[in-house]
Structure 1
Amino acid sequence: MRLVYPAAGYPHKNHKLLADINPKLDSAWPIDSLKLTVPVENNPAPDVSWIACVGFLSATEMIRAYGEVDALLFLSTDESYGFPLVEAMFMGLPIVCPDLPYAHALCADGAIYFDPCSIVSLRAAIETLHIRLSAGWWPDWSVQMREIPKDWDVVADAMIAVACKNLKH
């Protein structure tokens, strides 16, 4: 499988989880490639053969990258929104992401979830994805996409409403 994880190298993006992969056993993972959008010198697991750090990608390059992969891998332990999750849904891609509230709020039951502190859990999620894809499964994000705001005006109005509500309490 070919995966992409578009995220800067901030600590909460949880690239460090990949450092727990045993490079001697990397061929046991059902992954052909994992593109990380961090510089090569920030590779969290340089001895894992299928991890490639490609650095920052422009919007056009990111769309191309989504078109070249089988799924989005998202490792982040803390997000205010999680744009790559929305982008992957828009592109119709399967998503493997942390079992955390922000991910459930966006992906509902459409994603494959893992414990963001456990490489064993991540591997199990990746194996689940591989089994599902091999059986012909593909996610239907239509329900989740209806919940996504259509433009920034809608987002801004919602944020203002929340802020005003919090000021009253």
Structure 2
Amino acid sequence: MKLVIDARYTRVTHHDGISRYTAGLIEATAKIAEVTMLINDLRQLDLLPDVPYLKVSAPTSALEPLVAFQINKLKPDVVFSPMQTMGTLGRKFPVILTLHDLIYYAHPHAPKFLPAPIRWGWFLFHQVYFPQRMLLNRADAVATVSQTTAGLMRKHRLTKRHIGLVSNAPSGESASRDKQATVKNTLLYMGSFMEYKNVETLIRAMRLLPDYELHLLSGISQQRRAELEAEIPHGAKVIFHGGVSDEEYANLLAQCTALVTLSREEGYGLPLVEAMSVGTPVVVTDMPIFREVAQDAALFADPDNEEAFALQVQKLSDRDVWREYADRALERAGQYSWDLSARQLVDLAQYAIDHSPNSSK
């Protein structure tokens, strides 16, 4: 199978969620299929596996609607995009498009760092469902990362196409932590600081956890940091890291009490799986997607109840309880791997080939 994977959303300095998802899929899928990746910047190769590639126009280029004409020369059996916005006019191949989540229908405001016209377009796009339907119905099959999102897509009739699961997974680089080692009274948050992430409640809850430190790991703007610093209760210990390397992240995960989040919406929650894969307990929002991803390996809390969150964290001060959830985390994380995701992708690609009018097979 000649499978082309769109890697143009790969960052050039460090991975974000889409970038890491793409790189993980490419590396694993290249073991079982003939993979060529699309890039638009040679610097992207530093964060991607060593597989053949074609340099084409950027996904934000005015040429995007016609990008299929550049891809046709590869004569692929099928093309997979980790986004739903890839141009498809003039294509001579089956295509799989991806929708990760429906977060921005509930929280339609775009990140503040984007230019105002893009923010307005983003907001208006997510006021109704028909633009999304138009995007997804161009595909021969649609991928998503969770059964929760697939269910929401069916509920809102976002596509007439077959929906297949191509799961996210943690990197395979981190070893399981030593459960006999000393556990530091630290809580880690890894993720963005957009409003729906509800980091304010995490910070305010630290007034109930005077023996713990909350470490906010991701990069953050000065304006947003000032907003969150104003929420820190007197005497609470909250540390802003402003971004960490993969090595620093792994070291922090190997020592902390738990990874925590009270996000109100998620499409998957990769930091949960990353933490669980090394045997770190997680304390998270009680909502369907986290129930699907973590099952009984997590401690769950109401995102609006600081006391309930603090109580779940305090349970982990009992060493036996901590070890129990560390074991559960490892067992559950074992259900996720890039090799499994690659097999899911190849199966979905075969479906697209079998059902596409653009298939050469």
Question: How high is the TM-score relative to the length of structure 2?
Answer: 0.39
Partner AA of 1:14 in structure 2: N
The equivalent of 2:148 in structure 1 is none
Tell me, which stretches of 5 or more residues in structure 1 are unaligned? Answer: 164-169
Q: Could you tell me how far 1:63 is from its partner in structure 2?
A: 1.2
Q: Is 1:107 matched up with 2:294? A: yes
Q: Could you tell me how far 1:104 is from its partner in structure 2?
A: 1.0
Name segments (4+ residues, structure 1) moved above 4 Å.
Answer: 157-163
The equivalent of 1:46 in structure 2 is 232
Q: Could you tell me how far 1:42 is from its partner in structure 2?
A: 4.7
**1:31–1:158 Cα change, 3 Å:** farther
Q: Could you tell me how far 1:6 is from its partner in structure 2?
A: 0.7
Residue of structure 2 aligned with 1:153, choices 342, 355, 360? 342
Partner AA of 1:79 in structure 2: E
Contact residue 149 and residue 155 of structure 1 kept, 8 A: no
Contact residue 204 and residue 232 of structure 2 kept, 8 A: no
The equivalent of 1:123 in structure 2 is 310
Contact residue 262 and residue 303 of structure 2 kept, 8 A: yes
SS of the residue corresponding to residue 76 of structure 1 reads coil
Contact residue 204 and residue 233 of structure 2 kept, 8 A: no
Residue of structure 2 aligned with 1:32, choices 202, 208, 212? 212
SS of the residue corresponding to residue 34 of structure 1 reads strand
Partner AA of 2:192 in structure 1: A
The equivalent of 1:10 in structure 2 is 194
**1:159–1:83 Cα change, 3 Å:** farther
Tell me, which stretches of 5 or more residues in structure 2 are unaligned? Answer: 1-184, 353-361
Partner AA of 2:215 in structure 1: K
Residue identity (%) = 23
Partner AA of 2:259 in structure 1: L
* CA distance, structure 2, for counterparts of residue 59 and residue 37 of structure 1: 11
**1:58–1:147 Cα change, 3 Å:** same
In the comparison of the two structures, how many residue pairs are matched? Answer: 159
Deviations 1:100-142 (A, max 9, x none): 1111111111111100121121122122222x33666342134
Q: Which range moves more in the overlay, 87-96 or 147-156? A: 147-156
Say which structure is richer in helix.
1
Alignment of 1:63-142 (within 5 A): 63-130=250-317, 132-133=318-319, 137-138=323-324, 139-140=326-327, 141-142=329-330
Deviations 1:32-87 (A, max 9, x none): 21101254435353345211111122222211221231211122221111110010
SS of the residue corresponding to residue 91 of structure 1 reads coil
* CA distance, structure 2, for counterparts of residue 159 and residue 133 of structure 1: 44
Q: Report 1 or 2 for greater relative contact order, CA contacts < 8 Å, sequence distance ≥ 6.
A: 1
Q: Larger Cα Rg: Structure 1 or Structure 2? A: 2
* CA distance, structure 2, for counterparts of residue 136 and residue 54 of structure 1: 25
Partner AA of 1:46 in structure 2: I
SS of the residue corresponding to residue 7 of structure 1 reads coil
Contact residue 8 and residue 37 of structure 1 kept, 8 A: no
SS of the residue corresponding to residue 251 of structure 2 reads helix
